[in-house]
Each structure stands twice: as structure tokens, then as C-alpha cells.
Amino acid sequence: MKKILFILSLVAVFNLGILGFNLNHQNTSDVSQCLMAQRGCCSHHGGVCGCYRGRTQCCDGSLSPSCQCFRDEQKGLQL
């Protein structure tokens, strides 16, 4: 839980532009969208690595039966 809160804090810092990013940037970060996934998505499948047709794609290639996402891109993230 502490790791997730730390990652969310980092995402907030980047989205606020504290580290030199543009405050008027309208695109949301893929990382922040990934982190908004429901708790436990792909927890036994290597973490969340992408989105495919509105379904969360796990790092082992499987699709989460209960979690949804909003972009069809590979993330390469592991939570």
C-alpha cells in the first residue's frame, strides 16, 4: 500500500509540473491512468502492462476479467 501511495505521489508531482513540466499539458499520463486501475488488477499475473479493447492487459499476456482501462497501448509497467 505504501508503494502505491508513493507512486501516486510521484505521478501527482509530475502532473502538477513541479519538475519542469508544462502546467497546460492537456494529455493525461498513461501512468496515472494505469494507477487508477482497481486494486488487485493483474496482481497474480506480473502486474499491469497495457490496455486492449477496454480491458486491462497483464504482463503475462492475459486480460483481467474484472478490470477496465481506457487506452489501447502497451504500458510496460509493473505494480
CA separation for the pair 5, 16 (Å, rounded): 16
Which has the closest alpha carbon to 77: 65, 45, 16?
45
- Whether the pLDDT of residue 42 is over 50: the answer is yes
Q: Decide if 43 contacts 65 (C-beta within 8 A).
A: no
Contacts by residues 20-28 (CB-CB < 8 Å, ≥ 24 positions apart): none
- Whether the pLDDT of residue 53 is over 70: the answer is yes
Amino acid 13: pLDDT: 66
Amino acid 15: pLDDT: 63
pTM here is: 0.42
Which residue has better confidence, 18 or 15?
Answer: 15
Cα distance from N-terminal residue to C-terminal residue, the chain: 11
Confidence of residue 62 (pLDDT cuts 50, 70, 90): very high
Angle, vertex CA 48, rays to CA 47 and CA 54, nearest 5:
150
